[in-house]
Structure 1
Amino acid sequence: MIVKKYVVTDIKEAFEKIRVELGKDAVILSTRKIKKGGFLGIGAKTYIEVTAATSDKKEQQSEEKGQIYKLQEILSKSKTNNPQNVEEISEIKKMMVELKSMISSQRTNEPQWVESFRKALKKQDIDDEISDKLIEYSKMKYQELDFSNENTRLILSEMFLPFINTSVPDLKGRVLFAGPTGVGKTTTLAKLAAKLKLSEKKRVAVITLDTYRIAAVDQLKTYAMLLDVPIRVAYTPKEAKLEVEALSDYDVILIDTAGRSQKNDLHMSEIKAMSEIVSPDFTFLVIGMQYRSEDVKEVLTKFSMISPTHVILSKMDETSALGHFVNVPNFLKAPIAFITNGQRVPDDILEANNRELAVLLSREVLKYAKSS
């Protein structure tokens, strides 16, 4: 094992030096504040002394090799002698357990609180790279987190806060809704239409480009009738452009699109063409919170071609994992504007607030970390 000490002015500097000199698998053993310089303690500057360590790869490989040779020797011996020899079989089992434990220890080498924290972050489907950053920050600033202490929730909340980007825009002009199939774009559009007209007293119009599903058109027509707002159906990009121009006197034009699979290049090119024709002032990418982290990455990558300005996270009521509060803004570099948590129009939609989301996420992480 290689152990090194670093005297630095801040945590960021320590991270950089450790990664360069010891590699990404290095672990922090301890941190402490020290004073240097000055005269008789006067004018001394405060520094941070960080002790880090990493396994010597050659030594590690040699140990593993030695264990394997020893195991092969025992196996060979058990074949030449009586195969029913209980002692030899016992020795083999013991060696297997030791080998497994050694490899596991070399892979993680993490204290119990870190392991619990990592599992809790994984349970919330927080991206591994973000989890690593949170854990390293915890080691640096707090040395250890006590998950039995309710005050830890406040610590977690402050840690999540920089990763949660939210912004609720003052909607006006053309607003495009896009996203994969089944995320609730049409219902979300209706909720915002009701909010804009009833609460903000804006003149609202609706255009649907989702002519693939008759039910979607009928659904929007019903909502439009109840809200007393005009609705237009456009079947082609040319019609979409004409309808947008015809409704230009309205404060806000909400434009619905058909759900598109991120795996279908033709579908993605269609939605891109529609976006270019409509030329929206705001583009909302609607993503279901029940999606796995890897699926969300793929959706965000493919839909980035339409340059989403904001994200709406839908169906929060259908999952217990809240990791997309931090995942989505960091994957896409666009803020979360709204969260939907049910089917009721217009009630089940919330304006995104980074502090409130950080509190919700920290509560879930702490709950699982306590039990693991």
Structure 2
Amino acid sequence: MHIRTFRANSLQDALEQIRSQMGADASVLHTRQVRDGLMGWLGRTYVEVTAGLKDGEGNEIGAGQGGSDSPQLGDDHGCPASRFNVVSQGSDSLQPSLQTQASFEENLPAPLRSYFDELLSQGVLRAVAERWIMGTVSFAASLGETSGDSLGSSIPWLEHLQRSVGRELRIGSPIRTQPGDRRIVALVGPTGVGKTTTVAKLAAGFRLEARRRVGLLTIDTFRIAAVQQLRAYADIMDLPMEVVEKPEQMRPALGRLGDVDLVLIDTAGRSPTSDARIEQLVELLRSAQPDETHLVLSGTSSVASIEQTIRGFAPVRPTSAIVTKLDETPHLAGVLSAIVATETNSGIALSYTTDGQQVPDDIAIADASALLSRLLPPRMQLSQAEAA
């Protein structure tokens, strides 16, 4: 991986260098404050920003060899202060010093600093929050909004922040059906996220609105109530339904559903940390051979819980995710930070969102604009409007 590091008097100047030398598609990877002079003392303070650029194959590339003012990553001659970062006990890697973290916030305009603090308070990892904020500043700089406004009070920071987050947010495709072409779709996820209700919403929508022939199949035999709940929905909508307990029962059950356009499979809630339960689920789904597998995530879950769920259900190979219970989630920064790609998480695309218990009304195709409009609490939206 080839990465360029730029040094400038301010964050805005560094971003201008990155854009002019690497183009608008460059990504900011890291930022910190450094000082020249003997071992970092008695010298001038600079902002140092590391950026990378992806080639056509998705690899990070540099825009050329950096000069004396643009050392390559790992060149200690250009940043002697890096040797004195604080090292956490029990860690094998260097961690950013408290001074470096404070410097990042000190370099931000006051409105943007408030957004950064709010992101952290919602559980967004510091690395992700810094990346989003750097993208926000980059958008402002690309429009020439940072040069004449040192306080940043007249800049639409919230709009730029939403654009920064939106650049990382992936929106997948909703379920698409054709008459006479059966499509099998499975919903998976941990207990309590609303899988069965979501299956019912999808079934009702395709049956009543799209006029498709729908069949239901459940492998959630751990909870008798779950089978009864789904069967009640099936009876109301006059849909065929099958219950499967073992992989060898799957193909015959699918055959008994008849000539339907869409088969929706409800699954039992699994703990993402239970390898045995996940493997059982993999075996059952392998016998069903679904065309799509949607991972159901609750919008009320913590960032750590959602990230753990995405990692734990990776063996199931979900094609996209459905986020439920948005009516119980006042703001979405934490949820969105958990589903975008990070160093420890590959991220996942969104297909649907739900915001209530009404069948089939409270479900919608995932919409980036609608999600980003709820990125921060209403009070943060209001303060942005007042500043404008």
With structure 2 as the length reference, what TM-score do the two structures score?
Answer: 0.69
Q: CA deviation at 1:347?
A: 1.3
Amino acid at match of 1:341: D
Between the aligned partners of 2:348 and 2:276, the Cα distance in structure 1 is 25
Aligned to 2:131: 133
Change (3 A) 1:232 1:29: same
Q: CA deviation at 1:132?
A: 1.5
Amino acid at match of 1:230: P
**Greater percentage in helix:** 1
Question: Do 1:209 and 1:233's aligned partners in 2 also have CA atoms closer than 8 Å?
Answer: yes
Is 1:116 aligned to residue 126 of structure 2? no
- The gaps in structure 1 that reach 5 residues or longer are 32-49, 62-102
Question: Do 1:123 and 1:321's aligned partners in 2 also have CA atoms closer than 8 Å?
Answer: no
Is 1:291 aligned to residue 296 of structure 2? no
Question: Do 1:161 and 1:358's aligned partners in 2 also have CA atoms closer than 8 Å?
Answer: yes
3-state SS in 2 of match to 1:131? helix
Aligned to 2:212: 202
- Aligned alpha-carbon RMSD (Å): 3.7
Question: Do 1:329 and 1:336's aligned partners in 2 also have CA atoms closer than 8 Å?
Answer: no
Between the aligned partners of 1:181 and 1:288, the Cα distance in structure 2 is 10
Between the aligned partners of 1:145 and 1:241, the Cα distance in structure 2 is 66
Amino acid at match of 1:283: T
Is 1:56 aligned to residue 81 of structure 2? yes
Question: Do 1:116 and 1:369's aligned partners in 2 also have CA atoms closer than 8 Å?
Answer: no
Amino acid at match of 1:292: S
Is 1:215 aligned to residue 225 of structure 2? yes
Amino acid at match of 1:108: A
Between the aligned partners of 2:373 and 2:231, the Cα distance in structure 1 is 38
* Residues 349-364 of structure 1 mapped to structure 2, 5 A cutoff: 349-361=363-375, 364=378
Is 1:177 aligned to residue 187 of structure 2? yes
Q: Which one of 320, 325, 349 corresponds to residue 335 of structure 1?
A: 349
Q: CA deviation at 1:134?
A: 1.4
- Deviation string for 1:109-164 (max 9, x for gaps)? 22344432221212343343321211222334434797866944333332222122
3-state SS in 1 of match to 2:352? strand
Change (3 A) 1:10 1:253: same
Aligned to 1:256: 266
Amino acid at match of 2:120: K
With structure 1 as the length reference, what TM-score do the two structures score?
Answer: 0.71
Between the aligned partners of 2:200 and 2:150, the Cα distance in structure 1 is 44
Between the aligned partners of 1:309 and 1:190, the Cα distance in structure 2 is 20
Aligned to 1:188: 198
3-state SS in 2 of match to 1:25? strand
Question: Do 1:190 and 1:223's aligned partners in 2 also have CA atoms closer than 8 Å?
Answer: yes
Aligned to 1:86: none
Aligned to 1:246: 256
Question: Do 2:132 and 2:161's aligned partners in 1 also have CA atoms closer than 8 Å?
Answer: no
Q: CA deviation at 1:108?
A: 0.8
3-state SS in 2 of match to 1:360? coil
Determine which structure has greater relative contact order: mean sequence separation of CA pairs < 8 Å that are 6+ residues apart, divided by chain length: 1
Q: CA deviation at 1:10?
A: 1.7
Change (3 A) 1:12 1:202: farther
Between the aligned partners of 2:204 and 2:17, the Cα distance in structure 1 is 55
- Deviation string for 1:195-254 (max 9, x for gaps)? 011111100000110011010001001111111111111121111221113325210000
Between the aligned partners of 1:214 and 1:251, the Cα distance in structure 2 is 27
Answer with 1 or 2: which has the greater Rg.
1
Amino acid at match of 1:116: S
Aligned to 1:73: none
Aligned to 1:155: 160
Q: CA deviation at 1:304?
A: 0.9
Q: CA deviation at 1:106?
A: 5.1
Question: Do 1:29 and 1:51's aligned partners in 2 also have CA atoms closer than 8 Å?
Answer: no
Question: Do 2:8 and 2:48's aligned partners in 1 also have CA atoms closer than 8 Å?
Answer: no
Change (3 A) 1:149 1:192: farther
Change (3 A) 1:365 1:176: farther
Between the aligned partners of 1:173 and 1:271, the Cα distance in structure 2 is 19
Question: Do 1:117 and 1:369's aligned partners in 2 also have CA atoms closer than 8 Å?
Answer: no
Change (3 A) 1:140 1:352: closer
Question: Do 1:126 and 1:326's aligned partners in 2 also have CA atoms closer than 8 Å?
Answer: yes
Between the aligned partners of 1:59 and 1:174, the Cα distance in structure 2 is 57
